[in-house]
Structure 1
Amino acid sequence: MDYDNEQSEETKNEWQNDPNNWIWGIFYYNPKDKRLFAPKKIKEFGYTTNFANRHAVFALIILMITLIVIGRHLN
């Protein structure tokens, strides 16, 4: 990871507040943002996946598959 190109908190907040980075107002999609998970619009609600980052989408799919498998084994 190249820390010299790390974005400032101010830039990340600008991206977060830019409505063009939100699909339908709920899906965060920003190719410039390298974070896997970014704070939701209302930060107190936790984090959301940056769907522009393929690693984040992969992590989300693995998490969903894991939860489904665990759920089926509990029944």
Structure 2
Amino acid sequence: MDEPDIYDPKHWKWSTFYYNQGDKNWFVPGKEGLGLRPNFAHKSIQFIFGLILIITTVLILYNLDVLKF
């Protein structure tokens, strides 16, 4: 089976987010060759980043005294 072409522009949304359902890897090398980029086609990655976003939002709102526990 052929390896997916991670540098194909059709797999990069807004030149920043990698999204390729045919790629089994959770992370791929960045286009610049530095670091790793998550493959947002995986539901697990979407869940993890969604959870991080929710936790960050709750912590910010709590520190601004908008939320009180």
Shift of 1:32: 2.0
Aligned to 2:53: 64
Aligned-residue RMSD, C-alpha: 2.3
Unaligned runs of 5+ in 1: 1-10
Q: Which amino acid aligns with 2:61?
A: R
1:15 aligned counterpart, secondary structure: coil
Question: Within 1, Cα distance between the matches of 2:53 and 2:9?
Answer: 27
Aligned to 1:73: 62
Aligned ranges for residues 30-69 of structure 1 at < 5 Å?
A: 30-44=20-34, 46-69=35-58
Would you say how many aligned residue pairs link Structure 1 and Structure 2? 63
Runs of 4+ in 1 over 4 A off after TM superposition: none
Instruction: Tell me which protein shows more helix as a share of its residues.
Output: 1
Task: Write the deviation string for residues 16-75 of structure 1: whole angstroms up to 9, x where unpaired.
Answer: 22222112322211112223333321233x433312111111111001001111112222
Unaligned runs of 5+ in 2: 65-69
TM-score by structure 1 length? 0.62
TM-score by structure 2 length? 0.66
Which has the larger Rg?
2
Return the match for 2:6 from 16, 31, 37: 16
Question: Within 2, Cα distance between the matches of 1:34 and 1:67?
Answer: 28
Matched-pair identity in %: 32
